[in-house]
Structure 1
Amino acid sequence: MRLFLALIPPPGLRKRLGALADIAHARCGGRRMPDASLHLTLAFLGEVEEARAAELAAWVRGLAIAPGVWRLDRWGSFRRPGIVWVGGDEGEAALGRLQGGLWSSLESLGLGERPARFMPHVTLLRRAAVDDLENMPAIDLSWSYNQLELIQSTLDERGARYRRLAVSQG
């Protein structure tokens, strides 16, 4: 099964991120991420066997992460895959420490491969025209977090479908 660790926005923030996705979609086209799929990936683990996934779920349930706040205040894009995202610098260092600590633990468990770099963002669109982000509306959102989730991703003709397998202590 295909797994990742993520922070999931609370419902009110998820709705506001969805409104930003609507604005971006109207300008850039592409495939809009459903509100239920909006998240911040901390660690993409790829394909994991079911027995190993059960061990990982137990590990996640036993985790307690340091609470933090991430301020989302800018638009961005990854040109090659046509991704439009939102992110921000305030709180990014704490997210980097969280992500680094998770990878240290995951590597000691023999899981996954640490990426070369980590750039916190929430993907709003895929396969979009990313050249027209100049005059997007200002963003000023605050995301308070205190737990992470282990998510299973299943791909089908409509895109990725996510299912929560475990939640850390909060």
Structure 2
Amino acid sequence: MRLFRALEPAAELRDALGRLAPQARRHCGGRRVPDENLHLTLAFLGEVDEARAERLSRWVSRLRPSPGSWTLDTFGSFRGPGIVWAGGSHPDPLLGGLHHRLWDELALQGFAPPAKAYTPHVTLVRRADSLDTSALPDFELHWHYHQVTLILSVLTDEGPRYYPLALSGQA
């Protein structure tokens, strides 16, 4: 099972992010991420066996993350995978703290944290032809979060499909 931990946007925010994605695709090319897949990854766990996934589901259900708010106001890109994303122009200490606390707990469960620095973002386009986001429009969105989701990623011919396995505070 391919798993990750994420924040999922509320419907209104998901719609607003979904309106940014076609603009990014028109300008940069590539494959637009479907609205139902828009999320903020906190921890990518990779392949996990079923027993470990069950333990992670129980653990996530018992989590009580502190609520926070993140302002998304900039486009960015990652060269290697050709990703165009929406994110914040200023670091968010609460979001960064949540990411680090989750990885501290995951390390106790035998997961190795990523070597790269964490850049909170919502992927809008994959395999972009151009990573120049300078001509994309200004925007400002506010993400109020209070729950973490454990998500199963299933790769299909049409792209990945995401299925929530556990939601924090649902024990």
TM-score relative to the length of structure 2: 0.95
**Does the 8 A contact of 1:83 with 1:127 survive in 2?**
yes
- In structure 2, relative to structure 1, the CA distance for the partners of 1:108 and 1:131 (3 Å cut) is closer
The Cα RMSD (Å) is 1.2
Q: In the alignment, which residue of structure 2 is the partner of 1:141?
A: 141
Q: In the alignment, which residue of structure 1 is the partner of 2:114?
A: 115
**Does the 8 A contact of 2:84 with 2:131 survive in 1?**
no
**Does the 8 A contact of 2:61 with 2:166 survive in 1?**
yes
Q: In the alignment, which residue of structure 2 is the partner of 1:103?
A: 103
Classify the secondary structure of the residue corresponding to 1:104: helix
Classify the secondary structure of the residue corresponding to 1:129: coil
Matches within 5 A, 1:1-170: 1-90=1-90, 92-110=92-110, 112-116=111-115, 117-169=117-169
**Does the 8 A contact of 1:8 with 1:149 survive in 2?**
yes
Tell me how far apart the structure 2 counterparts of residues 114 and 82 of structure 1 sit (CA, whole Å). 23
Tell me how far apart the structure 2 counterparts of residues 91 and 15 of structure 1 sit (CA, whole Å). 24
**Post-superposition CA distance 1:91-120 (Å, at most 9, x none):** 62211110100011011112x221121110
Q: Percent identity?
A: 53
Aligned length: 169
- In structure 2, relative to structure 1, the CA distance for the partners of 1:164 and 1:81 (3 Å cut) is same
Could you tell me how far 1:89 is from its partner in structure 2?
3.9
Tell me how far apart the structure 2 counterparts of residues 156 and 113 of structure 1 sit (CA, whole Å). 27
5+ residue gaps, structure 2: none
Tell me how far apart the structure 1 counterparts of residues 11 and 131 of structure 2 sit (CA, whole Å). 30
TM-score relative to the length of structure 1: 0.96
- In structure 2, relative to structure 1, the CA distance for the partners of 1:166 and 1:54 (3 Å cut) is same
Tell me how far apart the structure 1 counterparts of residues 152 and 130 of structure 2 sit (CA, whole Å). 28
Compare 48-57 and 123-132 and name the one that shifted more.
123-132
